[in-house]
Homo-oligomer: A and B are copies of this chain.
C-alpha cells in the first residue's frame, strides 16, 4: 500500500504535498473539492472527522494536521533532509516555526473567509475581514525579523518549514498584503517557483 494524501486546492495542504513530493516517498494525491463541500461528506469525514485537509493515509492509520504530517514525512524519509530530525534542539526550533504558522499565521488568515467559525454575526465577519491585512502583515514582519534565518527559514538547508511558509505566503495577495516588502520570503518564493518539484506539485493542484 502506498500512502495517499487528501488535499484541497489553494489550501494549507500544499505544505504536506510539497514535503511528500520532496521526500522520495511513493504516494498518490486525492483532491477534496471544497467548492462542492466534499469535506463534509460521510466518505471524507470517515477519513478525517474534522472535515479538513490535509489528511495522510498511511499503512498504519491516518495522520492529520500539517505540523504532524511534516514531522512524520521528515522522520520517515530522513535522507530527504526535510527537517533536522537528528538534532533534538534544531528539530524543536523547526517544529516551533511550523506550530506558529499553524496556530497563529494560518488562523490570522482564516478570519478572512472563515469568520463563521467564531461568530454568527455577518457584521462581525466583515470586521474580521477588514483586520486581516494588518494581522498578516504583522505575522510576516515577525517571521522576517525573528524566525527566518536566510536564505532558507532554517539557514542553509531547504526544509519543510520553507514549504509551509511558501504555502501561506501564497495567500498574501488575496489578503491585500504586498509580499515584496518581505525580502527573505520573496527570495524564497522566487527560488521555489523555479524548483521543478514545486512546479510539478503546483501544476497538479
Contact = CB atoms under 8 A, between A and B. Distances in A.
Nearest to A65: B99
Contact residues on A (Cβ < 8 Å of other chain), bracket:
35 or more
A107 B110 CA distance: 11
A196 to B, nearest CB: 28
**Chain A at the B interface: SS class:** helix
A127 B117 contact: no
A108 B99 contact: no
Interface in A78-134: 88-89, 91-93, 95-96, 99-100, 102-104, 106-108, 111, 117-121, 123-124, 127-128, 130-131
Nearest to A100: B65
Contacts of A100: 50, 64-65
Contacts of A95: 65, 67-68, 71-72
Quick one: which of A49, A99, A100, A130 has the most chain B CB within 10 A?
Answer: A99
B99 A68 contact: yes
Q: Assembly of this chain: how many copies?
A: 2
A8 B122 CA distance: 34
Considering the complex of A and B, which 7 residue pairs feature the smallest CB-CB distances, nearest first? A124-B124, A72-B92, A68-B96, A65-B99, A68-B95, A121-B127, A103-B103
22 contacts: A49-B146, A50-B142, A61-B93, A63-B93, A65-B99, A67-B95, A67-B99, A69-B92, A71-B71, A71-B92, A72-B89, A76-B88, A99-B102, A103-B106, A107-B107, A108-B118, A111-B119, A118-B131, A119-B130, A120-B127, A120-B131, A123-B124
